């Protein structure tokens, strides 16, 4: 996709910074902003992403100098925090306070505002980040996303080898298409429907699905009889470590599989922000089927 047009000789002054721009969701957000002609800069850890060098800044969110450089000329930040600990975010928050952009933070629908501690480390870091941003006076607009459909891409290798997806089971949840989350984020970033409140907006899919349900729907899209096989936590741990996942991430995922409660909540917040209903996981599976071949 071409860069946002600008007058000849005019300096490049992006107004929206997208962190995690090389990830599944960040790429979707950047592409949509560019399609809208919005001035956007993506923050990536290296320049090997889909648009290397084009309107991108290189750096790590834990590097204050890199963040400071990326924030030059920025009015709005779409923040995706990638770590399982909020402590390294203090320097980032200090840079945000100094630059004073509008902040849109991507959190999790699993956050329980009434709980002293959250169910697992993944949810805890989102709750901690929300509090850190609020306490700094940044008044973030919070988008809480349910489980992203794109997580199913992690099953691709198993499905190229056979018809069984094995792994730790997770409580059912209203799995949401990452494209819908991106559309909602862009609507908020561009203030397409006026100035929204600070949220949180709860971004869910239209139906609650277990992993067994997801695998069956993916099988229907692939025209294969697929099944999900839950494994013990010990086996899941050893498999994920053998796949090369960091130990801390593995332990967080195991904790989520054991402790995170089922959610039967669906909302219309995607429709409220985008003007159309959320897509089904079945639609996602059809659209992404080629990735599993």
DSSP 75: S
**What are the domain boundaries of the chain?**
16-144+178-204+266-278
Q: Is the pTM of this model over 0.85?
A: yes
CATH superfamily of 16-144+178-204+266-278: NAD(P)-binding Rossmann-like Domain (3.40.50.720)
Are the beta carbons of 26 and 150 closer than 8 angstroms?
Answer: no
Per the prediction, the chain carries an average pLDDT of 91
Q: What percent of the chain has pLDDT over 90?
A: 87
Q: Angle between the 24-35 and 178-189 helix axes, to the nearest 10 degrees? A: 50
CA dihedral 187, 188, 193, 198 (to 10 degrees): 160
How far apart, in whole angstroms, are the C-alpha atoms of residue 87 and residue 128? Answer: 9
DSSP 290: G
Give per-residue pLDDT as tens, 185-238: 999 999 876 656 778 999 999 999 999 999 999 999 999 999 999 999 999 999
Residue carrying the six token digits 């459909």: 149
Give the end-to-end CA distance of the chain in Å, rounded to a whole number.
Answer: 26
Give per-residue pLDDT as tens, 243-285: 899 999 999 999 999 999 999 999 999 999 999 999 999 999 9
**What is the 3 state secondary structure string of 97-114?**
HHHCCEEEEEEECCCCCC
Are the beta carbons of 140 and 77 closer than 8 angstroms?
Answer: no
């Amino acid at each position: 996709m071409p860069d946002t047009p600008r007058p000849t000789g005019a300096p490049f002054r992006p107004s929206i910074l997208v962190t995690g721009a090389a990830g599944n969701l960040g790429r979707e957000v950047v592409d949509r902003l560019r399609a809208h002609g919005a001035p956007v800069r993506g923050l990536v850890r290296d320049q090997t992403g889909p648009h290397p060098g084009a309107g991108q800044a290189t750096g790590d969110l834990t590097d204050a100098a890199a963040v400071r450089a990326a924030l030059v000329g920025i009015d709005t930040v779409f923040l995706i925090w990638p770590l399982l600990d909020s402590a390294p975010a203090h320097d980032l928050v200090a840079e945000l306070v100094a630059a004073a952009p509008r902040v849109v933070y991507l959190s999790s629908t699993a956050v329980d505002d009434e709980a002293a501690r959250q169910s697992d480390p993944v949810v805890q870091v989102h709750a901690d980040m929300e509090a850190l941003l609020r306490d700094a006076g940044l008044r973030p607009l919070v988008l809480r996303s349910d489980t992203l459909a794109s997580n199913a891409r992690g099953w691709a290798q198993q499905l190229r080898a056979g018809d069984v997806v094995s792994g730790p089971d997770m409580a059912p949840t209203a799995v949401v298409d990452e494209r819908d989350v991106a559309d909602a984020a862009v609507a908020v970033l561009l203030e397409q429907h006026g100035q929204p409140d600070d949220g949180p907006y709860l971004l869910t899919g239209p139906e609650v699905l277990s992993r067994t349900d997801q695998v069956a729907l993916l099988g229907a899209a692939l025209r294969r009889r697929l099944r999900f096989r839950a494994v013990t936590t010990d086996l899941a741990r050893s498999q994920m470590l053998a796949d090369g996942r960091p130990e801390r991430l593995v332990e967080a995922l195991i904790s989520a599989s054991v402790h995170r409660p089922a959610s039967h909540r669906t909302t219309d917040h995607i429709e409220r922000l985008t003007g159309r209903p959320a897509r089904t996981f079945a639609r996602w599976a059809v659209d992404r089927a080629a990735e599993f071949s």
